[in-house]
Amino acid sequence: MKPVILQSTLTCPKCGFVKIETMPTDSCQWFYECQGCQVLLKPKKGDCCVFCSYGSVPCPPIQQNQSCCS
């Protein structure tokens, strides 16, 4: 099994602000406040968390082909 990547680069779709964040391994992150424009990011329809929607790397459970948020 591949090692799980815990760092993901989040990019705000509104202002383009970019920040590297560490993903939680024990919970989903459904909301994230952009530090550039203060918009509250929420997952896109069909995605389980903000990392899967706006990150460079999907969340740890998805990386491991598991169900997220279960």
Q: Output DSSP code: residue 61.
A: H
Residue 70, pLDDT above cutoff 90: no
Question: Could you tell me which of 19, 2, 43, 41 has the C-alpha nearest to residue 10?
Answer: 19
Tens-place pLDDT, residues 18-68: 999 999 987 789 999 999 999 999 999 999 899 999 999 999 988 888 776
Sign of CA dihedral 2, 61, 51, 47: positive
